[in-house]
């Protein structure tokens, strides 16, 4: 067997595999001999069919199968040994005139080669957000906790900050539903009408005037999003019950209930704990934003060509269903950006030795398991239990893939923080949402 490569250009090559009779004859003969032992052909006892008849009936099929196996193994080994970084898979060149009666065969394959390039971070800085929990957020969170653990006190009329239970009726649209909502959900128009309304009183109001948010209308009327969007009818709202939630006192009983006994002993410590927990969550969001922004910057500023025509042909020929040239080009255009980043990311990982190793992936899985168990009250699980769960997870390919991607994202974020040109910016969460996702 002889394998040669013709370099068409930097991104394309043709590999020629020449197979001679000596390469396949022994395997073909063995396979045909096995066929002879088990062949059932009328007029002959099993195992006594003449070899000539076996070759006539099965020879070409066996030959094609053995040559194809030999060809695939040889090609894969060649790509590995020559360390050829290919995109997609080798595409066989059409051979309509292939003669299976010949002794020697020659096959050609088109290769799309990965481009050579270097990754450099741009001088233009990427914003690295440091999201802080400001006093406004802490005040709101403390009040939310006080409301959650406070006591409901009944009232005879609607007041601000009240919780209202009411029945909503419209006979035309067959609406008859009771729901509870807070006063602050009402629109300005509805708030004026409801303020001071006594229990048992019925208020007539247009459906579009009820709530500031369409989703609240969907919930209280039990209608679909489309129906709620188009709904414009008068609704009779009967106030059934009015309650106001008195805020819970900030005392040791409340602190122990929320954070565990003795963990927090003052409002100041409570606010510090809320701030710490919130900013841990914010850091994850800031890291994801950083990863996305550095990715976009690298794609935009790392220039290299791709074997576009080869890849379009590969997409056209190797999909589940045959594609036209136009469809293949459309698919290529959709996937080109992702392919570019795969190459860039692969280069960064290889150059900087960021590959995920089995032991560190297992340790990462253990950390994930301990976090999950802590949420269910198991703060100090036995090492053996965690080890057993981790090994079960590591035996699941889907879980391994998911955890590997998470760990790799963490590694890349750490690498970008240490090497990319970043510009730190401290913002509140509210400003982060406005600025980062506008």
SS (H, E, C) the chain: CEEEEEEEECCEEEEEEEECHHHHHHHHHHHHHHHHHHCCCCCCCCCCCCHHHHHHHHHHHHHHHHHHHHHHHHHHHHHHHCCCCEEEEEEECCCCCCCCCCCCEEEEEEEEECCCCCCCCCCCCEEEEEEECCHHHHHHHHHHHHHHCCEEEEECECCCCEEEEEEEEECCCCEEEEEEEEHHHECHHHHHHHCCCECCCEEEEEHHHCECCHHHHHHHHCCCHHHHHHCCCEEEEEEEEEEEEECCCCCHHHHHHHHCCCCCCCHHHHHHHHHHHHHHHHHHHHHHHHHHHHHHHHHHHCCCCCCHHHHHHHHHHHCCCCCCHHHHHHHHHHHHHHHHHHHHHHHHHHHCCCCCCHHHHHHHHHHHHHHHHHHCCCCCCCHHHHHHHHHHHHCCHHHHHHHHHHHHHHHHHHHHHHHCCEEEEEEEHHHHHHHHCC
Q: What is the pLDDT of residue 396?
A: 92
Domains 2-113 and 151-246 share a fold: no
Q: What is the mean pLDDT of residues 238-264?
A: 92
The angle formed by the CA atoms of residues 124, 407 and 365, to the nearest 5 degrees, is: 160
Question: Percent of the chain having pLDDT more than 70?
Answer: 100
CATH for 2-113? 3.30.70.1050
β-bridge partners, 12: 9, 112
Cα distance between residue 114 and residue 305, in whole Å? 9
Residue 438 has pLDDT above 80, yes or no: no
> Which fold, 151-246?
Chitinase A; domain 3 (3.10.50)
With contact defined as beta carbons under 8 Å apart, do 240 and 165 qualify? Answer: yes
Average pLDDT over the chain reads: 92
Q: How confident is the model over 87-113, as pLDDT tens digits?
A: 999 999 988 788 888 999 999 999 999
Residue 39 has pLDDT above 80, yes or no: no
Maximum average pLDDT range among 24-28, 155-159, 316-320: 155-159
Q: What is the mean pLDDT of residues 35-56?
A: 78
**What length does the chain have?**
438
Long-range contacts of 331-337 (CB under 8 A, 24+ apart): 332/308, 336/306, 336/308, 337/299
217 CB-contact burial (10 Å; exposed 0-12 / middle 13-18 / buried 19+):
buried
* Packing angle of the helix pair 383-394, 397-419 (nearest 10 deg): 100
Question: Percent of the chain having pLDDT more than 90?
Answer: 75
Q: Is the dihedral of CA 111, 116, 120, 122 positive or negative?
A: negative
Pairing of strands 202-206, 86-92: unpaired
Q: How is residue 279 written in tokens?
A: 């900013």
Q: What is the mean pLDDT of residues 127-155?
A: 93
Q: How is residue 423 written in tokens?
A: 């510009």
- pTM (2 d.p.): 0.74
Residue 281 has pLDDT above 80, yes or no: yes
The domain limits of the chain are 2-113, 151-246, 267-436
Identify the residue with better confidence: 260 or 274: 274
């Amino acid at each position: 067997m002889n394998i040669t490569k013709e370099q068409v250009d930097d991104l394309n090559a043709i590999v020629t595999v020449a197979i001679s009779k000596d390469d396949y004859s022994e395997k073909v003969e063995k396979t045909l001999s096995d066929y002879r032992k088990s062949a059932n052909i009328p007029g002959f006892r099993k195992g006594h069919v003449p070899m000539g008849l076996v070759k006539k009936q099965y020879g070409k099929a066996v030959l094609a199968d053995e040559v194809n196996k030999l060809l695939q193994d040889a090609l894969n080994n060649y790509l590995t040994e020559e360390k050829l970084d290919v995109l997609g898979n080798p595409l066989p060149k059409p051979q309509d005139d292939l003669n299976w009666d010949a002794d020697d065969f020659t096959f050609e394959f088109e290769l799309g080669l990965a481009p050579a390039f270097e990754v450099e971070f741009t001088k233009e800085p990427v914003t690295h957000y440091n999201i802080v929990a400001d006093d406004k957020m802490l005040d709101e969170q403390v009040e939310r906790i006080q409301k959650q653990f406070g006591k409901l006190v009944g009232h005879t009329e609607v007041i601000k900050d009240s919780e209202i239970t009411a029945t909503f009726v419209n006979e035309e649209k067959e609406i008859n539903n009771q729901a509870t909502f807070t006063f602050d959900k009402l629109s300005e128009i509805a708030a004026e009408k409801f303020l001071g309304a006594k229990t048992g009183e019925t208020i007539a109001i247009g459906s579009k005037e009820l709530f500031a948010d369409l989703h609240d209308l969907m919930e209280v009327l039990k209608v679909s999003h489309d129906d709620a969007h188009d709904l414009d009818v008068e609704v009779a709202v009967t106030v059934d019950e009015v309650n106001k939630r008195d805020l819970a006192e900030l005392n040791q009983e409340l602190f122990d209930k929320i954070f565990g006994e003795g963990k927090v002993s003052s409002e100041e410590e409570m606010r510090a704990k809320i701030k710490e927990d919130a900013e841990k969550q914010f850091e994850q969001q800031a890291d994801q934003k950083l990863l996305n922004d550095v990715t976009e910057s690298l794609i935009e500023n790392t220039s290299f060509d791709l074997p576009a025509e080869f890849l379009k042909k590969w997409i056209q020929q190797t999909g589940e269903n045959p594609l036209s040239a136009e469809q293949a080009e459309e698919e290529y255009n959709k996937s080109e950006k992702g392919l570019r980043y795969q190459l860039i990311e692969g280069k960064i990982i290889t150059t900087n030795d960021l590959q995920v190793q089995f032991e560190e992936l297992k340790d990462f899985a253990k950390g994930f398991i301990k976090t999950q168990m802590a949420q269910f009250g198991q703060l100090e699980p036995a090492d053996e239990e965690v080890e057993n769960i981790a090994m079960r997870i590591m035996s699941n390919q889907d879980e391994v893939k998911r955890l590997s991607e998470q760990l790799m994202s963490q590694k890349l974020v750490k690498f970008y923080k240490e090497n990319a040109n970043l510009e730190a910016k401290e913002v509140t969460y509210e400003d982060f949402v406005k600025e980062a996702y506008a």
